[in-house]
Structure 1
């Protein structure tokens, strides 16, 4: 944890992760600070990069993206140029929600959303597999989501937990 953050900063970050639209008045009520103090702290946390931005949390299924898939990818060769080519490919694909470079058997895991099997097939067979950087692709269709991302854990020193 960064020593520059006090309990009010951490509580402010927790509340904004839950609802980024909170006004400074609402934040002040939740964390026991004045609206002007909340405004100054929020501005500082944004300027220092703790808060990278604000966005709406959209409903994937209501947008017609019924299928969520985890795709494991192995590169054809393991060198910097090939990794950069793959990274460039992935960065331009809106279906890819998240992408992780890994240690172990597979080089990358992609979290991909598609409208259905036809779109998944097109994505794998027409986009991923023909790409020069890719050797092997393994898809796993998500059957059920047990937990989704709802914000980073913001930990406070145990001595602060009793504070309101």
Structure 2
């Protein structure tokens, strides 16, 4: 699919991804437009959901001990109702920091953070017992981040 953004829009997204706290004046200067149109473009990207949110990445290891677990979750069936029930249920698990529906031999990849393995196991046990539609949960404890998230490769993905 061809990008729906013009070159200024692309430069704006790239600059904001590098520094979400950039001032409007600095952003305008960096993408080569005046401040007023820059602010209008940014607001339009926010209003349309292209810019979804601004967030801070926290290095949790510098403030507390925790474990991170990547889980492969398989449901008993692939019926729409079971998937909807699962997705509705996980919305209320704060320790689950992300979940993706995937193709292949499992249905979901989920990432959890918890104070310790017992806490994580309690979450999985409760989820399995209360839902009744989970066939398997395979857990992988993360012991090191070998590549941290540095943003989307916008220059590559938005290239026409």
Shorter-chain TM-score range: 0.7 to 0.9
Provide the alpha-carbon RMSD of the alignment.
Answer: 1.9
Structure 1 CA distance for aligned equivalents of residues 86 and 76 of structure 2: 10
How far apart are 1:63 and its partner, in Å? 4.9
Check conservation: 2:96, 2:112, Cα contact below 8 A.
Answer: yes
Q: How does 1:10-21 map to 2 (within 5 A)?
A: 10-21=10-21
Which secondary structure does the structure 2 equivalent of 1:41 belong to? helix
CA contact (8 A) 1:100 1:108 kept: yes
State the secondary structure of the residue aligned to 2:154: coil
TM-score, normalised with respect to structure 1: 0.84
Q: Give the TM-score, by structure 2 length.
A: 0.86
Q: State the shift of 1:113 in Å.
A: 0.8
Q: Runs of at least 4 residues of structure 1 off by over 6 A?
A: none
Q: Does 1:129 align with 2:131?
A: no
Distance 2:15 2:91 in 1: 30
Which is richer in helix? 2
Cα deviation 1:105-158 (Å, max 9, x = unaligned): 111110111111121221222x23213111111100012112232322213547
Equivalent residue, structure 2, for 1:42 = 42
Ranges in structure 1 where 5+ consecutive residues have no aligned partner: 159-164
Q: Is the 8 A contact 1:65 1:113 kept in 2?
A: no
C-alpha distance in structure 2 between counterparts of 1:73 and 1:36, whole Å? 48
Tell whether the 8 Å contact from 2:75 to 2:136 is kept in structure 1 after alignment.
yes
SS at match of 1:146: coil
Structure 2, unmatched stretches of 5+, are none
Cross-structure match for 1:161: none
Aligned residue pairs total: 156
How far apart, CA to CA, are the structure 2 residues paired with 1:48 and 1:81? Answer: 30
Q: Distance in 2 between matches of 1:140 and 1:29?
A: 45
